[in-house]
Amino acid sequence: MTELYAIILFLFVLFLLLGTGVWVGLALMGVAWVGMELFTTRPVGDTMITTIWASSSSWTLTALPLFIWMGEILYRTRLSEDMFKGLSPWLARLPGGLVHTNIVSCTVFAAVSGSSAATLTTVGKMSIPELRARNYPENMVIGTLAGAATLGLMIPPSLALIVYGVTVNESITKLFFAGVFPGLVLAGMFMAYVAIISFASKDWNPRVETGMSFRQKVANSRFLLPVFALITVVIGSMYGGYATATEAAAIGVIGALVLALFQGSLSWTSFRESLMGATRTSAMIALILAGAAFLKLSMGFTGLPRALADGIAAMELTKFQLLMALLVFYIILGMFLDGISAIVLTMAVVEPMVRGAGIDLIWFGIFVVVVIEMAQITPPIGFNLFVLQGMTDHDMGYITKAALPMFGIMVLMVFVLIWFPEIATWLPDNIRQR
């Protein structure tokens, strides 16, 4: 009964604080403080300070602000415009035409950004006007952009994977390796959907552009060289075992600054804005992680995580049944919290269950990221939906309906991961690491 009272108390205090508009990180600390006061005699202030310092001084966590800064720098360059110029000649003749540039551009930018919001904004500000001008169906333009932008949470460097790795104490580099193939498979599923709709839809009547010669296509591909060079250096240094995730992030910042300098978009103003943007985002995530670390310790004193894990074990659920329960749980949670908050808020309870069920934590990290990707496009608090609403002036209902097929594809991706776990585990098991 003690555990039941603890659950009720924690949830009541948490929703009370969140409902009054308190920042997520501070709400987590508030819940933890109440738990410490009621379930332990340890000095709460000293414990909180020690826990927050320990969570904030992790060397692994240094990769986070660096990758965020790299994305902020690239957001202020002409990267999206150059990607459209380089990709469109090759994708125009595919079934579905230039809608594929939404998906491929998001996939490419995700490999140098790590942020879903940055990916969506950077690609969308260029592709939406171009695709509208060519009479592509509006719902497909909006829907594919909403779905493909979530790849920023999956394809390394992924901020969500960094946060997950720090929370469960797993290798960030291994998690990055694990995210590559699932991210590419999910992008391929989005593209397959576009191709099918282009044949089946009666509204599909875009303006077909004059074909370019092979020489012209190759010439336009020069616009892709800077971003692919940056991807090769950043991601390749990790895959080749030459750099850790943190070292690769530092290399990425230098590369992004060099790219911005050569594009002529690096000024003192853009430099300051990118630095301040990265600082704000990093501080927000650090506060959430600090609150989650304190909450994890507080919940440990109640015995709640172990009791829940034992309770699940007593139910004798199979791995599949447990994963289905967690799938529904995270989809519901994602309607009200952003992905990173959902990860740090739940791992204190979910991690013992997953370990007890014998589920690989690297694989589970990819499972969780696919599910929280859905949170980016599910109302009422789907962040990508709000970004698209600001960019397109459509009402939320229209954008949600346009993104619904992408949500269904992500659900299908969860089952693909369950049926073929090697998609996520093969690369981290077979690539040498530093």
Cα(215)–Cα(314) distance, integer angstroms: 66
Structure tokens at 196: 């099918």
Structure tokens at 420: 């073929």
Residue 6 inside a domain? The answer is no
Residue 413 inside a domain? The answer is yes
User: Domain span at residue 135?
Assistant: 59-288+299-430
Residue 317 inside a domain? The answer is yes
Structure tokens at 172: 């960030």
Residue 246 inside a domain? The answer is yes
Residue 152 inside a domain? The answer is yes
**pTM recorded for the entire structure:** 0.80
pLDDT of residue 209: 63
Contacts of 1-6 with CB under 8 Å at 24 or more apart are: 2/302, 2/303, 3/302, 3/303, 3/304, 3/307, 3/308, 6/35, 6/39, 6/299, 6/302, 6/304
Cα(349)–Cα(68) distance, integer angstroms: 28
Check: CB of residue 287 under 8 Å from CB of residue 26.
yes
Cα(58)–Cα(262) distance, integer angstroms: 34
Check: CB of residue 389 under 8 Å from CB of residue 354.
no
Cα(241)–Cα(243) distance, integer angstroms: 6
Residue 12 inside a domain? The answer is no
- The terminus-to-terminus CA distance of the chain in angstroms comes to 47
Question: Longest C-alpha distance within the chain, in Å?
Answer: 76
Looking at the 3D structure of the chain, how many domains does it have? 1
* CA gyration radius, the chain: 22
- Each of the 434 residues of the chain gets a pLDDT tens digit; together they read 555 666 677 777 777 877 777 777 788 788 888 878 877 777 878 788 888 787 777 776 777 788 888 878 877 777 767 777 788 788 877 888 888 888 988 888 877 776 777 778 778 877 888 888 888 888 899 999 989 988 888 888 888 888 898 888 888 889 988 999 999 999 999 999 999 998 887 778 777 665 667 777 778 778 788 888 888 888 788 777 788 878 888 888 898 898 888 888 888 888 898 889 888 878 877 887 788 778 777 777 766 666 666 666 667 778 898 899 888 888 877 776 677 777 877 887 788 888 888 899 999 999 999 998 887 788 766 777 877 887 787 888 888 899 999 999 999 999 999 999 999 999 888 775 55
Residue 13 inside a domain? The answer is no
Residue 411 inside a domain? The answer is yes
